[in-house]
Structure 1
Amino acid sequence: MAMNSLKDIYLDQLQDIWSANTQSLPVVTELGRAAQDKDLSEALIDGGNGIYDGLAEIEKLCNEHGIKPNAEHCKGMEGLVKEARVHGLSNDITDPDVRDAAIIPQYQRMVHYALAGYGTLAAFANRLGLDTDAAVLQKCLDETYDGDRRMTEIAMRGGVNKEAAS
């Protein structure tokens, strides 16, 4: 697709976030199964559910704009997913508490990519006067921020990092 307008970039970025979410969902599920800490595991399961819901919303937006959601492959998320598997699911991590501590930054890196994507898309939709799109994307952005804050709370006030440090 030629990039000749903000709308062209917007549509391309819709496809990119769909690809990113599609790639991150399986590894988030794997991280949730690997986590020992109950709060961490539940947060990852909820995060996976949020990604799934976001995929459905992005797919609807793509369909409404007459584009295929799967026309783009997000290389950025591809790298983050590889890193999450290497650093969060590695067999080299033998202590479950250390694994839990390693899972959090891997998850948050993927979430921060999604935050950048949803934030940019919401801004584009607002600028383009796509009010319905903007509302959907803002909801996805807000829910993604909630998941990120929850993960930070688990790392800072929960027992994960405390257990890994002992």
Structure 2
Amino acid sequence: MKIFSANLQTLQELYNNELRKALDLEEQIVKALPTMIEKSSDTQLKQAFQSHLQESELHVDKVKQLLSQQEDSDSQTCKVIHALVTEAQDTIKDVNDPDVLDVALIGAGQQVEHHEIAVYGTLKNWAALLGRTQDAQVLESILNDEKHADKLLSQVADRVNSDAAAVAA
């Protein structure tokens, strides 16, 4: 529970605050992806997660660069990603069948991607409204990476989900 309010008064303050959460979001993802890679049994899924790990490491740098222009550039906890990562960790512990685990990992990955798409789409729009054209371009490039990662997971899911369903039948 939050004890003190951030007392955000302007769109610029809100933008800065949410950008700090985006940094934490990316840092949490960078920490969580190695376990997801390790627990994946499908080669394409491992590759998709590995690719997104590399992108996320670059996203950390890009968001830090955007934040370097601010007085307060420390990250701020992204509670949504924390909850999604915790859910994924619980699922990894609960699922024993490798095919079912791959399905669960894809679902967890897509939940994260969808949140990232929402975050970066919003930040890009706010940056444009604030006249921060360069920020908007950086955020759009991150947004495109997130959409691509989601598309890759969907492609893997089409096959992996069917394979897991066939085993259960």
Asked if Structure 1 and Structure 2 have the same fold, meaning a TM-score greater than 0.5 normalized by the shorter chain, the answer is yes
Aligned to 2:40: 35
Aligned to 2:27: 22
Aligned to 1:124, which of 115, 123, 126? 126
Aligned to 1:104: 106
For the aligned residue pairs, the C-alpha RMSD in angstroms reads: 1.1
Aligned to 2:89: 85
Deviations 1:90-149 (A, max 9, x none): 1x3221111111100111111111111101100000000101100000000001100001
Aligned to 1:53: 58
Q: TM-score, normalised by structure 1?
A: 0.93
Aligned to 2:135: 133
Following superposition, the deviation at residue 64 of structure 1 comes to 1.6
Whole-Å separation in 2 of the counterparts to 1:67 and 1:136: 19
Aligned to 2:161: 161
Whole-Å separation in 2 of the counterparts to 1:125 and 1:155: 33
Provide the secondary structure at the position in 1 that maps to 2:109: helix
Runs of 5+ consecutive residues of structure 2 not aligned to the other structure: 1-5
Q: TM-score, normalised by structure 2?
A: 0.91
Q: How many aligned positions are there?
A: 161
Runs of 5+ consecutive residues of structure 1 not aligned to the other structure: none
Contact 1:28 1:107 survives alignment (8 Å): no
Identical residues among aligned pairs (%): 27
Contact 1:18 1:59 survives alignment (8 Å): yes
Q: How does 1:142-153 map to 2 (within 5 A)?
A: 142-153=144-155
